[in-house]
Amino acid sequence: MERAEYIAGPASAAQYCHFWSDRVDALESHLSTDTWALAVVTVAAIAYPIARIVIPAVLHGAVPDVVRTVLSLI
- How many structural domains compose the chain? 1
Summarize pLDDT for 32-67 with one digit per residue, the tens.
Answer: 889 889 999 999 999 999 999 998 888 888 878 778
pLDDT-based confidence at residue 71 (cuts at 50, 70, 90): confident
Q: Sign of the C-alpha dihedral, residues 31, 32, 38, 41?
A: positive
Q: Range of 9's domain?
A: 2-73
User: 0.75 cut: is pTM over it?
Assistant: no
